[in-house]
Amino acid sequence: MPAKVGVVKVITLSSSSIFNIGDVYHMAPKAWAKTFAGGGSFNTGNGIHVQVNRSNTYIDDNEVVDQTIVNNA
């Protein structure tokens, strides 16, 4: 069903985002990320107290390609 769309202002789009105006059947953004973090990382909440005296993150990633996402739908 067609729709009337007024003025649209796009400030920014990230590399894995989708911007669509109008009818659409299927949208599938593709993105990948590899994250390494040390002790005390990714803590969320109110009043968290983390004491990490020494934190080292050792990465031994010999893979050239992890898992391809090309043509995944």
**Gap between the Cα atoms of 55 and 48, Å rounded:** 18
pLDDT at residue 71 in the model: 65
Please tell me the pTM assigned to this model.
0.34
The total number of structural domains in the chain stands at: 1
pLDDT at residue 70 in the model: 67
pLDDT for 4-59, tens place per residue? 778 888 888 877 788 887 777 888 777 777 787 877 778 888 888 888 787 777 77
Residue 36 lies in a domain: yes
Residue 3 lies in a domain: no
Domain that holds residue 67: 25-73
Residue 7 lies in a domain: no
Residue 13 lies in a domain: no
Residue 11 lies in a domain: no
Total H helices, total E strands in the chain: 0, 0
pLDDT category at 69 given cuts 50, 70, 90 is low
Q: Where are the alpha helices (DSSP H) in the chain?
A: none
